[in-house]
Chain A
Amino acid sequence: MSLAAFISDLDALAAEAATKFAAAADAAALEAARVEFLGAKSGRLKDAQKGLGTVGKDDKPAAGKKFNDVKAAIEAAFAEAQERAGAGGAKVAAGPPFDPTQPGLRPRLGHLHPLTQTIEELKDIMGRLGFTVAHGPEIEDERHNFEALNIPKAHPARDPLENFYLAVAGKVQGSGFGVQGSSSTSNTDPKNPELLLRSQTSTVQIRVMENQPPPVRIISLGRVYRPDTADATHYPMFHQIEGLLIDKHVTMADLKSTLRLFAGSYFGGEVHIRFRPSFFPFTEPSVEVDMQWNDRWIEMGGAGMVDPNVLRAVGYDPEEVSGFAFGLGVERVCARRHQVTDIREFYRNDVRFLEQF
C-alpha cells in the first residue's frame, strides 16, 4: 500500500468515526460506535493498523506518525462525545474514586479572648453613642485613685488591706493609726507619692478632665485590682468599663436614656432602666442600675451624677457644668452573656475554653 493511500484511508476513518461519535444518541449507541472504531480485537482502527506493515520501508516513520495522530484524534473525539453524554454514560473513570466526604483541610484560626470580644463590643456601642476611648496608667497615685474622686484620707476605701499598695524600699509596711499620722498611707510627700494598683478606672476620668475643658465624653476601661479572694464570682484583677459625660445641662434623665440605649444595643430589643439609690464617694446622687430584659430585672452596675467635689478637684465649676458617670464590670457582663459560671475560667487560658468564643 502506498503512503498516500494509507493516509487517505486513515483520514476517511477519522472523519467517519467523528461523525458516528457525534451522532450517537445515547450511551448504548456511543458504546457501539466505540467498539466499531476503537474495539481492541476487531475495531476498525485495529484493522487500519495492519496496513502499516504494507507501506514501504522508507515511508514507515511518516506512516507511523500519521497512525498515532489519527488514533489520538479518534480517542479525543470519543472522549468528547462521552463527556457530552454525561458521566453516567460510560464506565471509564480517570484515576481512583474521589471521596468528597473526607474532612476539609481547615486552617487553624485563633480566637480572641471572650473578655476582649466583650470589651470591643461595648466600646463599639459606646463609640456609636459618641463616647471616645481614654486610657490611663494602672499604677496610680493616691490623688487620682482617691483624693480627686472625693475619697478622703480617713475613708475605709483607702485602707491598705483594701488596696494593692506598692511596697517602697525602706518604708515599714503596716497600717498604723491615721489619727496619729504614723500610717503608711499618710505619706503626703508630693515628690514620692504613695502608689497603688488602681482600684477603679475612674482614675482615667480624672486624668482626662485635668487635661481638657468640658465637654467631656469618654469611656475608660482596663484592668483594675482589689484584694478579693478568688472564687466563682471574684478575682483580684478584673476589667472595668466606665463612661463619663460632662457638659452643660447633663441630668439623670440623660444618664438613664444613655444607659437604656447602651443596654438595648448590647442585649437587643426593648430594655428598661431602673435606678436604685446607692452610695459612691465620687457621685451624688449615686444609683445602682438595673435593666429589665426578658421581663427580669438584672443588675447592670453603678452610676450617678459626678460629685461637685470631683468637678472642683479638676478645676471645673459645678455651677456651670454637670455630668454623669457609670461603670460596669466586664467579667460579669461577659459571664452572663456566655453563661460562664466561674469567672476564674477567664484567667486559666485553657485553649479548650478560649476556642469556644
Chain B
Amino acid sequence: MLISYQWLNSLVPLSVGVDEFALRMMMAGFNHESTTAVGDDWCVDLEITSNRPDCLGHIGLAREAAVLFGAPLKLPAAAPKAGATKVETLTQVAVECPELCPRYTARVIRGVKVGPSPAWLQKRLATIGQPSVNNVVDITNYVLMETGQPLHAFDLAKLRGRKIIVREARSGEKFEAINHKSYALEPGMCVIADAERPVAIGGVMGGVDSEVSTATTEVLIESAAFDPLSIRTTARKLALRSDSSYRFERGVDVENADWVSRRCCELILETCGGEMAEGMIDVAAPRKPREPITLRAKSIKRIVGIDVPMPEVRRILAALGLEEVRGSEFGVTSNKSDNPEPGTLNPEQVTVTPPSWRRDLEREIDLIEEVARIHGYDKIPEDVGVPMARSARTDEDRVLAKVRHVLTACGFDEALTISVVDDGLSESFSPWTDAAPLALQMPILERADKLRRSLVPSLLKARRENEAAGNRTIELFETAKVYLPRAGQLPQEELMLALTSSGSRPSSFFYLKGVLEGILAALQPDARFEVRDAKHDLLTAGRACELLLAGEMVGVLGEVSPAGLKKLDLREPTIVAELKLAPLARAAVLVPRYVPTPAYPAMERDINLVVDEQVRWNDLAATVRACGDGLVESFDMKGEPYRDEKRLGPGKKSLLVTLQLRSPQRTLTNVEADDLRTRVVEACAKSHGATLRA
C-alpha cells in the first residue's frame, strides 16, 4: 500500500519524521518496504497483511498512527448538500444475486462539469503513482485510496433504461472493459448491467461504454460490497486485477458504503459542480450486529506473558474503534457482593464491540493480539526460564546418521534432488511398483509433474549435469522418499537410499555392492543380503540383482546398460543402487551388545580353486560353511576371479579364497587346519567340481 505522507498528515497530524513513522508502523505490523521522495512529499510503501483490509486506505493507516502516536484522527465531514430531486426518480437498482453482491448503493449527481482535476488532487494521486484521468474518475480513485472502499462512476446517460441490474454473467456474454480489452464472461461472475448489457464486472473493472468522459453530465456513483471469493476467482480467471478487486478480495467494510458514497459526492460537488439528488438507493442483505467480545486481564498475561494495565487496555481498544459495552452484564464488575457503583469499570475484564471495519476481530485472542501489538512486543522479556524437558534422538535419525557416516567415509557426496520428475525420468526406472506414478495438476518445474517412484533417475540426471560440467569423480547418494500409489489409500511414502557410482572398473559392481554391505553391517552386523537375479530395462541384463533381507526385497543393484546410458545422455558407465531404509532400520542394532573377543588365535589357509564359470560364490560358500564344523570364521575371496583359457581351460575361473579358522575352546593345530582345508577342498570338488589350481 503506497501512501502519501502529507495526505496521511491531513488525517492525523504527526509530529514525527517519516522515518520514525515508518519504523513505528513496521513494529505495529505494517512492514516497511520503502520510502521515496516525490516533490515535497514522501511516498511510503507499507505491506498490509491479508487480515487488515481496513488499512488498504489512508484513513485506516491514519487510525493506526493515531493510536501509536496519541494524535487525534480528523475525518472529513462527508456531508454533501442534496438537491430536491429524489434519486429514485432518476434511476433504479435491482440486485439479482445478493450472495455475490451483499450491498449495492447508488447516488446520482447531475450537471457535473468533467475536466482536468485540480492541482492538489493531481499531486496527491501522483505521489502514490496514480495517473490522472479526469476530475470525476480521479475523485473515485482518491476516495478509494483514502477509505479503501472502491467506487465506480457511471455516465448515467449511457446506462440503457437508466437502471442498474446486478446479476450473474450469462454464458457467452462479452464485455469490453475500460482498458479496451474484451473479456468473455461466464456464470459465477458478478456483472453490473443496465437494461440490456453488462456495463461493469462487479468489483473488478468498469466498462468502456459507460465510462465518464468530458461529455458526461450525469454520474451515478456506485459504492458496493462484493463476495470476496467470487471476486478472487473472477479476477484470476480473467487475469484482470485492479485496485478494486484487490480490496474486494480481502473484504470491505459493508457498513461504510454510505459514508464513502457521501465522501465521494462531497468531493465531486466541490470539484466538478452539479447537484446531488436527494437520498441514496441502498439494496442490501440484512446484516447481523457484531457480537460483543470479553477480554480478561488474566488471558493477556496467560498468552503474552506480561501484565498490561487495564486502563491501557481500555485506551488501546477505544482508540482502535472498539466500543466498550457498559451495563450490568458486561462492563461493571460481576462480583455481586461488591455491589459497585453503576459505571465502575471492571478491573478484571472489558467487554467491547468491534467496529464494522475490523472483521478480523471476533474472539478474545484477537483482542489480546491488538492490545499486545499496540502496547509493544518489545515489552515482552526474552530471558524467562523455559522449563527443561527430555528429548531423545529418534531411531530414524540414528539410522540415517550411520548410513551417512558410511557413505561419506566411502567417498560419496550427498545430493538433494526435487521429488517431482518429468515423464521420461519417471518411466526410466521403477523397481518398486508397476502402478502409474501420481501426478500433479500442474508441473513443479519445466515438465516435471510426476511424483517419483525411484530416486535413481533423479541421481542419474544429477550425474549427467556433473558430466556436462566436466567433473571426473561423480559418486552421489541421496536419502529421500519415493511415492508409491496404493489403490484406495493414501500413497505409500517410502524412505529410500539411492546411489550412483563410477562403472569404469571391472570391479565397480562389487565395489558398490560392498558399500551396501557396509551399510548393512553398520546397522545389522549379523545380517547378510540374499541376492536374486533381476531384470530392469535400465540395467544391463545379467548384471543386475535384487537384495533381500529376511525374504523381503529391500534393494536393487545393477549396471546401467549402454542403452540406458544413451537414453539418459550419460557418457561414462555407472552402477546404481536403491535401498529401502525402513527394513534396515527396523532391525537395526543401535545399541550393540558386548561379545567377548576370541580368546584363541585364528589360523588362515589360502585355497586356489578352479571351478566352472556357472558355479556361484554363494553356493560355494554354503558348502564350505557346511563342512567347517563351526570352525570356519570367515570365507572370503581375495581379488577378482582369474580367467585364462590356456592355463585353466575354457569356461573356467580360478578363485583365490582365504579360509579363516578359529575354535572358541582352544588353539587350533596346524594339523587340524590342514585337515579342514583338505575337507573343504574335497567338499568343493564333490559339490561343485572344483579342482585345486596347479
Contacts and interface: CB of A to CB of B under 8 A. Distances in A.
A278 B29 contact: yes
15 contacts: A108-B411, A110-B408, A110-B410, A112-B408, A112-B414, A133-B393, A133-B394, A139-B490, A179-B188, A237-B419, A251-B304, A251-B384, A257-B381, A275-B378, A279-B29
A86 interface: no
A335 interface: no
Nearest to A304: B369
Contacts of B227: 179
A272 B382 CA distance: 8
B303 A252 contact: yes
B415 A253 contact: no
A227 B442 contact: yes
A109 B404 CA distance: 12
Contacts of B52: 279
A110 B365 contact: no
A127 B398 CA distance: 13
A129 B389 CA distance: 7
A223 interface: yes
A111 B230 CA distance: 51
Given A288-B31, A348-B465, A254 B440 contact: no
Contacts of A254: 305, 384, 386
B29 A138 contact: no
Interface of B: 26-29, 31, 49-52, 99-100, 188, 227-230, 232-233, 236-237, 249, 301-306, 363, 365-366, 368-369, 372-373, 377-378, 380-386, 388-394, 396-397, 404, 407-420, 438-442, 444-445, 449, 451, 462, 465-466, 469, 471, 473-477, 480-481, 483, 490-491, 493
Contact of B397 (A123, A217, A256): A123
B441 A164 contact: yes
Nearest to B371: A285
Given A166-B439, A197-B440, A177 B233 contact: yes
A261 to B, nearest CB: 8
CB-CB nearest 6 A-B residue pairs: A251-B305, A277-B29, A253-B305, A130-B389, A177-B188, A279-B49
A285 B368 contact: yes
Contacts of B27: 276-277
Contacts of B407: 110
Given A110-B411, A166-B439, A277-B28, A252 B369 contact: no
A44 interface: no
Contacts of A287: 377
Contact of B363 (A113, A133, A308): A308
Instruction: Name the residue in B26, B372, B444 with the highest tally of chain A Cβ atoms < 10 Å from its Cβ.
Output: B444
Nearest to B47: A278
A133 B233 contact: no
Contacts of B393: 127, 133
Contacts of B384: 251, 253-254, 256-257
B490 A195 contact: yes
A37 B516 CA distance: 64
Contact of B31 (A111, A182, A276, A352): A276
Contacts of A61: none
Nearest to A272: B382
A165 interface: yes
A237 B451 CA distance: 13
Interface size class of A (residues with CB under 8 A): 35 or more
Interface string A99-135: 0000000011111110110000001001111111101
A117 to B, nearest CB: 9
Interface string A136-156: 011101000000000000101
B230 to A, nearest CB: 5
A36 B427 CA distance: 86
Contacts of A285: 303-304, 365, 368-369, 372-373
A276 B303 contact: no
A309 to B, nearest CB: 9
Contacts of A112: 404, 408, 414
Contacts of B409: 109-110
B416 A115 contact: yes
A112 B377 CA distance: 39
Nearest to A277: B29
Nearest to B401: A120
Nearest to B414: A113
B466 A350 contact: yes
Contacts of B394: 132-133, 135
A156 B417 CA distance: 29
A194 to B, nearest CB: 10
A284 B369 contact: yes
A352 to B, nearest CB: 6
A182 B375 CA distance: 45
A346 B462 CA distance: 12
Given A276-B27, A278-B49, A288-B31, A130 B391 contact: yes
Contacts of A350: 465-466, 469, 471
Contacts of B304: 251-253, 285
A266 B643 CA distance: 58
Contacts of A133: 393-394, 397
A347 B417 contact: yes
A110 B50 contact: no
A299 to B, nearest CB: 10
Given A137-B490, A137-B493, A288-B31, A322 B373 contact: no
A179 B377 contact: no
Contacts of A308: 363, 365
Nearest to A219: B391
A256 B381 contact: yes
Given A132-B394, A179-B99, A288-B31, A349 B417 contact: yes
Given A236-B418, A348-B462, 5 more contacts: A132-B391, A251-B302, A349-B462, A349-B476, A352-B471
A206 B258 CA distance: 44
A149 B369 CA distance: 18
A355 B413 contact: yes
Nearest to B376: A275
Given A166-B438, A307-B365, A260 B382 contact: yes
Contacts of B378: 274-275
